[in-house]
Chain A
Amino acid sequence: MFEAFLFFAPASLIILGALIVIFAKNPVHNAMGLVMTLVSLAIIYITLNATFVAMVQMLVYAGAVMTLFLFVIMMIGVDKKEQTTDSIKGQTFLVSGVFLILISLLVYVAVSSDFKWDLWFPPVEYDVEGTPQLIAGTLFTAWIFPFEIISILLIVATAAAIALAYDTKKRNSNA
Chain B
Amino acid sequence: MSTELIIALIKSGIALSVLLTNTILLIWLERKIVAGMQSRVGPDRAGPFGILQTLADAIKLLLKEQIMPLKADRAMYLLAPIIALVPSFLIFMIIPLGPDLNIEVAGKNYVVDLVGADLNVGVLYFLALSSIAVYSVVLAGWSSGSKYPLLGGVRASAQMISYEAAMGLSLVPVILYSGSLSLVDIVDSQSGNLSSPIPFLDSVVSFIPKWNVFPQFVAFGIFFIAAVAEVNRAPFDLVEAEQELVGGFHTEYSGFRFAMFFLAEYINMFNMCAITATFFLGGWLGPTFENFLPPLLSAIMPIFWLGIKIFALLFLFIWFRATLPRLRYDQLMELGWKRLIPASLVWLILSAIVLGFREFGLPWS
Binding site for B on A (CB under 8 A): 26, 28-29, 32, 35, 39, 51-52, 54-56, 58-59, 62-64, 67-68, 70-71, 74-75, 78, 129, 131-132
Contacts and interface: CB of A to CB of B under 8 A. Distances in A.
B132 A58 contact: yes
Interface string B323-350: 0000000000000000000000000000
B218 interface: no
A52 B124 CA distance: 8
B132 A74 contact: no
8 contacts: A28-B143, A67-B131, A67-B157, A67-B161, A70-B157, A71-B157, A78-B142, A131-B121
Contact of B121 (A51, A68, A71): A51
Contacts of B124: 52, 55-56, 59, 132
Contact of B127 (A35, A59, A75): A59
The 10 closest A-B pairs by CB, nearest first: A63-B131, A58-B128, A55-B124, A59-B128, A55-B121, A51-B121, A55-B128, A74-B142, A131-B120, A52-B121
Contacts, number: 72
Interface of B: 73, 75-76, 79, 119-121, 124-125, 127-129, 131-132, 134-135, 138-139, 142-143, 150, 153-154, 157-158, 161, 181
Question: In terms of DSSP, what is the predominant structure of the interface of chain A?
Answer: helix
Given A28-B139, A67-B134, 11 more contacts: A28-B143, A29-B75, A52-B124, A55-B124, A59-B128, A59-B131, A64-B131, A68-B161, A74-B154, A75-B154, A132-B124
Residue in A67, A68, A70 whose Cβ sees the most chain B Cβ within 10 Å: A67
A71 B160 CA distance: 13
A32 B79 CA distance: 10
A70 B135 contact: yes
Contacts of A52: 120-121, 124
Contacts of B150: 74
A15 to B, nearest CB: 18
Contacts of B153: 74
Contacts of B132: 39, 58, 62-63
Contacts of B157: 67, 70-71
